[in-house]
Structures are given as C-alpha cells and as structure tokens.
Amino acid sequence: MHGDDTSAAAPAPTAAKPVRSGSIRFYLTNEFGLVVLIAVFAGIFGLMTDGRFFSTFNQFTLGRVAAVNIMVGFSMMVVIVTGGLNLAVGAIGVCSAMVFGFLAQVGGLPWPAAVVGAIATGALLGWVNGFVIVRSGLHSFIITLASMSIFFGLMLYLTKAESYRGIPPDFSEFGRARLFGVVSPMLVVAFAAGVLLVLLYRYTVIGREMLAAGARPEAAELSGVRVGRIFILCHMLSGAIAAATALLVVARTGAAIPSMAGQLGQDWLLLAFLGPVLGGTLLSGGRVSVIGTLLGAILVTMLTNGLNLLQIGEFWVQACLGILLLLAVLIDLMRRSYLAHRRMV
C-alpha cells in the first residue's frame, strides 16, 4: 500500500508466497506516474510558452481552477468507491450555489450561515439520490441521470434562471485573495478536504465500512455493515462536496449563476471522472486513492491550461481530455494485469 491508496480487499491467502518487489510496485503506482507526468508537462509547457506558464498570474489562475477540479473529482470519487456513479454532481452543485445566493442576497443571512445552508442542500439532494438508489435497486447511473435533469429543472423554475450577484464582499474576497502572492486559498481548501478524506478512509470505522460495502456488498452485509445506509451516506457526502465545490466557484466569480457548470451541470462530468480514474480509484468500487485523485485533477488542469496558452482550439482540448481518460483506463488495466501476473497484488 502506497500513499493514501486504501482498499477494503485484504490479501488473499495463496499457496505460494507473493513476490516481494516493493520498488517495482512503487514505480507502477498511479501516484508516481502522475507526479512524473506533471513534471514532464510542466517542463514542456514552460519551454513552449516562453515561460508564461510559470508566470505568477498563471500559477495563481491555475491554482484556482485546480481547486475546483480537485473538489469535483472528490465528489465523484466518494461515490465510485461504492461501485456507483453520481452524474448529478454538477446539478447538485449549481442548486446548492443558488441556495447560497438566495440566502445571502434575498434572505440577508450572514455568509457563514448561507454556506451551511448550501452544503446542507447538497447533502439533502445526495440523500435523495442515495435513498432512491437503495430502495429501487436500480443502478446509480439511471437514478442520477434522471435526478440531474430534475434538480436542474426545478432550480431553473424556482429561480427563473436569474443570477444572484449580491454576494457578500467578504466571501468574494476569499476567491481573489493570494497567499504568498501566488497561492489561492481555494487550493488550501481543496487540500484540506483531501486530508479529511484520507483520515476518513484510513482511520474511521465508517470509512472502512464504505470501502467494504463497495468491494463486496454481500460479504459486508453478513459482517454487520448496513450497506444501504452506507451507500446513502456516500451520496450525501458526494452532494456536500459538490456544494462546497460550487461555493468555490461562487467565490471566484462573485456571483451564483445557473449556468456556472454548463447545461444540466454537464461541464463538470468529464472532470469529475478524470481525477479519480487517473488517480487509480477502482470504478468497480472498494478501492480509493485520495492523493491520486488530487494529482489527477492537477494534471488535467495543467494540460487544459497549457493547451489554452498554446491557443489550441477548445474542441482539441476536450478531445485531448477524452483521450487521456481512455488511455488512463487502458494503462491501469495493463498495470493491474502485470502486477497480477507477477503475483504482486
């Protein structure tokens, strides 16, 4: 086990002793590969943009975008760990942001109280998803695909697609602030969320139950884990993180806008998958890599930023990200096959 790589699957007893090749296994981890790729692409973009990639302004901008991408990845990751999906991540985020705007601008609440209301809204919408999934027995793909349209449509009806631009100045200032002249506090929030998730999966009973329920639901149920309740909690956590992500966007733009995550929140979907998949989180559930997800989101942000600086068309940027997702899945499949062949897993 390297880094924060956390899995519910215990090593299966075998007749022969597994090969001890810790160093080889380390170099084959997703986290090591991502660190190498980040360093390589940073060097390439630095050279090809005549240093503009490393300018103070660009690094600050990159940090703010990376913070949002990291949080979007976490929001999807905590559901993937159950073997499920949450296609409504963007819709939940936008709904929560609009609740924040309403409470702060129309309700006149202090922004900390509005933040609590927005995150509670995200958790509530996540609970709705989880409850329907558990009760119906249908795959989360179908349920969250439907709820994505329902949540977004209701939000448009209730707000009449109007933005809230009366965000408290103190809250907007957070999105513009700089630490040491270059680091965005939003990036600190994303890293802090990562630390909390590592602690959750490594050191808490509920985190271990989430991994066990995702790896082998039937076995977990026999062991006393209330799998249905755990699945609902995972969706609530996903909704709360999606809400926190949307609040970062509100702080960055200074407004709660219905189109902040695109139509139906679909602009967040590819980003939500890229971080966890690149980082090594198993789509079948039971294994999570928080640090891998964080590094994967940073790599995606860096690629997008570098290609934009090179004035590559938006279509090609999206095509590159799609190819990256496909390559990540195939390479991870080959890596696991190699490790299994060498009996190192």
pTM: 0.88
pLDDT in tens, 184-210: 999 999 999 999 999 999 999 999 999
Query: Is the pLDDT assigned to residue 285 strictly greater than 50?
Result: yes
Lowest model confidence (mean pLDDT) among 69-78, 112-121, 253-262 = 253-262
What is the reported pLDDT for 327? 79
C-alpha pair distances (Å), 86 with each of 13, 127, 197, 335, 337: 34, 12, 18, 26, 28
Query: Is the pLDDT assigned to residue 238 strictly greater than 60?
Result: yes
What is the reported pLDDT for 286? 83
Query: Is the pLDDT assigned to residue 21 strictly greater than 90?
Result: no
C-alpha pair distances (Å), 231 with each of 94, 121, 128, 186: 23, 18, 11, 29
* Mean pLDDT across 231-244: 96
Using CA of residue 98, residue 101, residue 106, residue 107, what is the dihedral sign?
positive
Rounded to 5°, angle at Cα 31 from 288 and 319: 90
Query: Which residue, chain included where needed, has tokens 């073997």?
Result: 83
Q: Please provide the average confidence, as pLDDT, over all residues in the chain.
A: 87
Rounded to 5°, angle at Cα 273 from 269 and 277: 175
Query: Is the pLDDT assigned to residue 123 strictly greater than 90?
Result: yes
Phi, psi of 164 (to 5 degrees): -110, 110
Whole-angstrom distance, CA of residue 16 vs CA of residue 14: 5
